[in-house]
Amino acid sequence: MNNVEIELISERYIGRAFQLTSIGVAMDYLSKEMQAKILDYLMEGKLVLKRDEISKLGNAIAYFIKSNKLCSKQYTSKLRLFYNNSTDREPLGMLGLIGRNINPCVQILNISTKLSHLDLNRSASPPMFIRTYVFSRFRGGEEASRDKISIGALWLALAGAIISLTARVRKKQNKQQKRIYEEIYIIPSGSLSNILFIGTLYRILHYESEDQRVRSFDYIVSELYSIDNLSFDIVLLLASLIKVSYAIDLAVPLSLSNLNLLNEFRATRIETTNRPFVLSEAGLKISRYLEALGTKGRETLRILFMLLRKSKNIRDSNVRKQLVNSVGKCFNSLFIYAETQDSTTLLDCTGDVCRLLMAKEVQESRIGNIINMFLSTIKRII
């Protein structure tokens, strides 16, 4: 059989969004002819490709994973794919993902370059991770574990999960409690309208500069998560804005007009306990907020994040706590400003930051200069 058919997983599963991620990042490395062929078949809910085309698709996905060094990131090596569920062992075992010391990213990377060795049409039950939105039964009583997907569809989804995973944080708990982690996935909305732009966002999210001026998305999320007066959904939106803002204004000059389709993504938080549990899912209107903030607002966003990073250098715990709380308040104010365009909301938090200039340790450190930079940009907004 010359052609291989890979179905798109049911929209009832998160796995479908993962599949679109894989296909989207691969598109940048495929010919126009093959792109058009893939788009035509996606409209029918499947991929039908020749064996050599499937190999090209796999190699393109592998190239993205390798060139963005995803397998060297700690959060991908700890990706939780297997749950203590009897239906998980068979499909994941077919892809060599069961066993000790398995790095799921490395294994998926290797598989993506050797698809000719796999029976991609073989069927199996979807593992629990791929059907995260559904624990056991659909409405009407149908058992999710009795559903079937092909190994090709499973590979495509798991590769997309590796690419979509952008951060891993430990939940805030009492010291006596067991460590529980949340994995953060940025996934496409499901619309095919932005399939050719998916790679743009993931290249930005995974980009890190060698001089650390542009930090990883995982690092940005972890730093923002340390602020008590920010909700986690706001943390994820702010982290996305900071990351894309650096790319637009500093690292990889991009036109906001070309990023309108980045509004069609959502952030999904999955708790990894006895089974994958979706804690929240929220749309990321990235382009909308970046345009609302404007150049000065985006600069303010980055300066606030710089202040948060430098707060660790303050020895006085009271001053350090005041600074972190003030930065959190200003992040919230900046978010409200982006929503309403009412600049007066920034005045209150500015006063809190100004008072910190009175602290001797702030005056004697570079933090004082950064605060003055912040105040200068706020004046230009107001």
pLDDT at 138: 43
Phi, psi (deg, nearest 5) at residue 324: -60, -45
For residues 354-378, give the mean pLDDT: 86
Does residue 215 register a pLDDT over 60? yes
pLDDT at 18: 95
pLDDT at 261: 61
Spatial neighbors of 109 by CB under 8 A, at least 6 apart, are 62, 65, 66, 71
Q: pLDDT-derived band of residue 135, with 50, 70 and 90 as boundaries?
A: very low
Specify the pTM.
0.89
Tens-digit pLDDT profile for residues 42-56: 999 999 999 999 999
Q: Are the C-beta atoms of residues 23 and 156 closer than 8 Å to each other? A: yes
For residues 10-25, give the mean pLDDT: 92
- What is the rounded distance in angstroms from the CA atom of residue 262 to the CA atom of residue 285? 7
**Exposure of 203 by Cβ count < 10 A (0-12 exposed, 13-18 middle, 19+ buried)?**
middle
pLDDT at 196: 83
Q: What percent of the chain has pLDDT over 70?
A: 89
Report the range of poorest mean pLDDT among 142-156, 170-184, 243-257, 265-279. 243-257
184, amino acid identity: I
Q: What percent of the chain has pLDDT over 90?
A: 40
pLDDT at 179: 76
DSSP 358: G
Q: Is 376 helix (H, G, I), strand (E, B) or coil?
A: helix
pLDDT at 141: 42
For residues 108-134, give the mean pLDDT: 86
Phi, psi (deg, nearest 5) at residue 3: -95, 150
Closest CA to 7 of 181, 158, 152: 152
Q: pLDDT-derived band of residue 332, with 50, 70 and 90 as boundaries?
A: very high
- What is the rounded distance in angstroms from the CA atom of residue 162 to the CA atom of residue 182? 15
Does residue 140 register a pLDDT over 50? no
